[in-house]
Structure 1
Amino acid sequence: MSTLGLLGGSLPLIGLSLIFSIALAVHVVRTGRELFWLWIILIFQPLGGLVYFIAIVLPELTRGSGARKLEQTARAALDPAREYREAKRACEDTPTVRNQSRLAEAAAQLGRFDEAEQLYAQAAQGIHAEDPALLLGRANALLELGRPQEALDVIELIPGGETSDPLAPGAVLALARAHESLGHTAQADAAFAEAVQRVAGFEAFGRHAAFMARNGRKDEARAAVADMDKRLTKLSGHFRKEGKRWRDLAAKALSEA
């Protein structure tokens, strides 16, 4: 067989290897991984790409968000500050966007919303300036800090916020909270109603019921709490505890209305 034939036969493999490496390089950048992975992937292709896929991508694919959430919840119950300490150490060693985001989330879980807001703001720069997760994290921190107008300004930066495309479910809920805090009752009601339909879990239900109670719609709020009570009977363990938290928030607002 001629040299040209051998080269021609290998071209498809070279092309696939290049596409594979480029896709993994994009994953490194978008997820805020340490930049040394880019060198490993691009210089030692395709072996470097395979190492990254096995070490980083494959565990993400095989472990769903639900499993990660349960693991984080269990760890938080045993040692609430553990994730924060580990995230802070990782961020100090390698201040990537991913590590900043992780530390911001851990800070928010401990109620350190000032720190969380600053970290999210620092992370949402350059190519990450429109990252929905970073912007939403910052908006939620601003809401907890009682700065709803700033939160609303940040939400409007989230892709879809100023177009006909729908906002992500979590962003819709943040939007509803911001509008309520600013006294935009009609906009808040519409956003809460949409969040109830799109956000998984009980938070949207509970916050909407509390909103209705605070705005003179006690009968609707009572009906919403009763509906949550029925739904809670079908849950168990962590999910029931989390759901009851939002049901109790609504019930408290109803009793104070």
Structure 2
Amino acid sequence: MKQYLELLKYVSENGIKRDDRTKTGTISVFGTQTRYDLKNGFPLVTTKKIYWKGIVHELLWFIAGDTNIKYLVDNKVNIWNEWPYETFKKSSSYNGETLEQFIEKIQLDDAFAAKFGELGPVYGKQWRNFDGVDQFMELLNQIKTNPNSRRLILSAWNPKEIPKMALPPCHTLFQFYVQNDYLNLQLYQRSGDLFLGVPFNIASYSLLLELVAKECNLKAGEFIHAIGDAHIYLNHLEQVKLQLTRTPHKLPQVKINNFKSIFEVKASDVELIDYEHDPLIKGLVSV
């Protein structure tokens, strides 16, 4: 993952200080592009441990069109918990519950989860029902039947529904490109938290590329990652310095077992092979 470390280094050395919505503050560069060739291995960051289980479950959650955190919470994936909790705290039902107590209620009370676990019409909704259009299904059909199309695009940015979302989509649009027997994928991400979020995003969309390629009888080629506001939060600068002292390990491989359809894949079917990594580096999420 030399490319990722080079991006991290570039922004840490050239980024300008900017205020942000979370009041944490960032150093930021506008407009970056990084390329990852999956023929050389699966691009999962090795200079710290990445939460692979969370990546797999979140992607399958998107593909299913789900927008409620209950599936994630039931599978011990807690990456989205803070956003519905902040919404819950503003409701008349809030009685001083901690985040941990809130998540316990999501697990144990289906009615509570249905009401307070909702994130609004975020990624899964837009992928599978963008104003009545199942973009994801249309995309798969087009790759299979019209592979030279320049319209193999899916957008998660729906201006009409953004006010209803707990968090407007950061990864806003992606496009596929068929090249002989290979399938390539480019993502445009409007905002990228380079230390915490971007390693997750790289792996998530690379896994999406693997799954869609398999669905369409193609091979996974390149993942190209374009970021608008590529930033490092000020409270992550020391962690970034530490990570930049580490040497990348050999990339792992990903294998999809028991594949019948992209819509039938379970998390247990996705196998990560030979993942060597340095220890976890913790950092606070800015909400």
Q: TM-score, normalised by structure 2?
A: 0.26
Q: Which has the higher contact order (CA 8 A, sep 6+)?
A: 2
Q: Whose helix fraction is larger, Structure 1's or Structure 2's? A: 1
Q: TM-score, normalised by structure 1?
A: 0.29
